[in-house]
Amino acid sequence: MSTKTLQADVVVVGAGNAAASAAVSAHENGAKVIMLEAAPQDQRGGNSTYTGGMIRFVYNGVDDLWPVIPDMTESELAMCDLDTYTEEQFYDDMGRLTQYRSDPDLTEVLIKQSHETVCWMQSKGVRFMLALGSHAFKVKDRFKFWGGAAAQIWGGGAELVNAWHKRLEKEKIQVLYESEALSLLHDDDGVKGVRARVQGVTTDIQTKAVILACGGFQSNAEMRTRYLGPGWDLAKVRGTKFNTGRGHEMALAIGAMATGHWSGCHATEWDMNAPPFGDLTVGDSFQKHNFPFCVYVNAKGERFVDEGADFHTFTYAKYGREVLNQPGQFAWQIMDQQVVPYLREDYRIKRITKAQANTIEELAEKLEGVDGRKFIETIKAYNAAPRPEGVEFNPNIRDGLRTEGLAIPKSNWATRLEKPPYHAYGVTCGVTFTFGGLMINTKSEVQSTAEKSIPGLYAAGEIVGGLYYHNYGSGSGLMSGAVFGRIAGREAAAFVKTR
């Protein structure tokens, strides 16, 4: 069988946020770029298409937000308490959330280049907006931002991908759809190209540099089970079905170093009846992120986690694992009318697993798969637990409204379930991306098992290991993809000139 041949300076494997950042960066630094996208055009963009669009970057006040959100209005600002998100705060969050395992050099690059990179994204056509309602609740006519995330992508992941692909089209950067990378072409001097199946035709793309930005291995049930452990084959996938770990396998096959938390992943609460993979007609709206205000119960009718340990932005990526570990791999979020007004739009979509009742006893009969008698006992014990006197519910701060004396406390936002009608939302585990990946240096160069750069090979985005362990702060993934994608493109273009 004959093999077709193409040529380019740089081949980027992937077509999402990290890949587009890399391709645009390589192009603006003088390289001819071809992108390989395994998905058809209407499903392009990998996990970026499914993201809610939060992005985490350093800002020291409103003056740092103007270049990112130039169309902010004075009326918006007048009702907002923006505070700051300094480098020190970003460092503290990365350390705390990863149990101080995150690679210090990569973390430094991510943080110090975050603001510059988000401004660069804006200059390329990506639009941002204030994260009102998702990371700032309106209390007494004012919004207060919490969790370090003040901005999000206008229009979410779908518009992020559209914006990047408009830029790719403007720059005449070729994207080959339905084109799965199969292996890296390499010799003793490094990587020389990619073998791919381009719309069914085996094709060798000869190149001087390759950038892998093709996501994690979360869409591969076999790899999930092998690395994450038993039961993870039962988890739903929050996003694309095309992130199968092929990039990991290609790089490891030529001696790349594996690093990071290979048994860890970003796993959140996802509607229990969502499809096995993401649905673009719903996007990110199967998520159920207002759990800090709820009481969680499992099939036994028991609580199993401190729902109010922290803002959801700092716990949502690990609580999916907690749900997966429950009998039947599901749980219910129970809420009353004190918190229902604060629920995000994701709780109001048509495709949702929901129960509603005017009494706890009536609700117990509607919770599919739950021991109703034990559930009623659990809610009674939760309601009866003492709370600190004089502490009021406040969704914008860690309010200290906590239970006392329960085996599993609720540390904040512990309002009693006492104002019907009561709502219950059924959730399971939705895997977003995996934490284990390839070792890179601060130039996005993939490292060999001897911890030396593999000539011509770069990586960015979810395929990079070493940044996340155990947990994750919302918005840092998009930021990481853009920061290291931009670096990878720039460094690959420079490398091309030396060949």
Calculate mean pLDDT across residues 449-475. Answer: 97
CA nearest 347: which of 335, 363, 359, 362? Answer: 335
pLDDT(1) > 60: no
For the chain, give percent helix, strand, coil, nearest 5: 35, 25, 45
Across-strand partners of 267?
Answer: 431
Integer angstrom CA distances of residue 65 from 58, 59, 112, 131, 463: 10, 7, 16, 12, 29
Q: What is the mean pLDDT of the chain?
A: 96
Phi, psi of 404 (to 5 degrees): -130, 135
Per-residue model confidence as pLDDT tens digits over 192-248: 999 999 999 999 999 999 999 999 999 999 999 999 999 999 999 999 999 999 999
Q: Are 421 and 357 in contact (CB under 8 A)?
A: yes
- Where does the pLDDT of residue 137 fall: very low under 50, low under 70, confident under 90, or very high at 90 and above? confident
State how far the Cα of 201 lies from the Cα of 197, in Å rounded to an integer: 5
Cα atoms in the Cβ-side hemisphere of radius 13 Å centred on 438: 39
With CA atoms as reference, report the closest residue to 44 among 156, 125, 162, 198.
162
Which string of b and e fits 30-56 if b means at least 16 CB within 10 Å?
Answer: ebbbbbbbbbeeebbbbbbbbbbbbbb
pLDDT at position 178 over 70 = yes
**Confidence at residue 75, expressed as pLDDT on a 0 to 100 scale:** 82
- The confidence score (pLDDT) of residue 179 equals 98
Q: Which tens digits make up the pLDDT trace of 331-346? A: 999 999 999 999 999 9
Task: Kindly provide the residue ranges of all beta strands, DSSP E only, lying in 321-410, ordered along the sequence.
Answer: 331-335, 354-357
What is the pLDDT confidence band of residue 82, given thresholds at 50, 70 and 90? confident
Give CA 312 to chain center in angstroms. 13
pLDDT digits (tens, 9 = 90+) for 105-127: 999 999 999 999 999 999 999 99
Comparing C-alpha atoms, which of 483, 475, 462, 481 is closest to residue 56?
A: 475
Q: Which amino acid is at 222?
A: E
Complete edge-to-edge strand list for the sheet that includes strand 136-139: 80-81, 142-145, 136-139
Token couple for 377: 């006992």
Query: Rounded to an integer, what distance in angstroms lies between the CA atom of residue 437 and that of residue 260?
Result: 6
Give the pLDDT score at 2. 59
Predicted confidence (pLDDT) per residue in 385-411, tens digit:
999 999 999 999 999 999 999 999 999
- What's the pLDDT band for 457 if we cut at 50, 70, 90? very high
Q: Given this model, what pLDDT does residue 148 score?
A: 78
The pTM is what? 0.95
**What is the four-CA torsion angle of 238, 16, 147, 407, rounded to 10 degrees?**
20
> Could you tell me whether strands 80-81 and 174-176 are parallel, antiparallel, or unpaired per DSSP bridges?
unpaired
Q: What is the DSSP string of 182-228?
A: EEEEEETTEEEEEEEEETTEEEEEE-SEEEE----STT-HHHIIIII
**Confidence band for 144, pLDDT divided at 50, 70 and 90:** confident
CB 228 within 8 A of CB 247: no
Output 71 or 24, whichever has higher pLDDT: 24
pLDDT tens sequence across 405-433:
999 999 999 999 999 999 999 999 999 99
Which single residue is written with the structure tokens 């009353």? 336
- Provide, rounded to the nearest whole percent, the portion of the chain with pLDDT above 70: 99
Which domains does the chain show, CATH number per domain? 4-217+436-498 (3.50.50.60), 267-430 (3.90.700.10)
Name the percent of the chain lying above pLDDT 90: 91
246 Rama class: left (phi>0) / alpha (psi -120 to 50) / beta:
alpha
How confident is the model at residue 83, as a pLDDT? Answer: 82
**Residue written as token pair 């700032």:** 136
Instruction: Indicate the range of 9-18, 136-145, 170-179 predicted with least confidence.
Output: 136-145
Query: How many C-beta neighbours within 10 Å does residue 276 have?
Result: 11
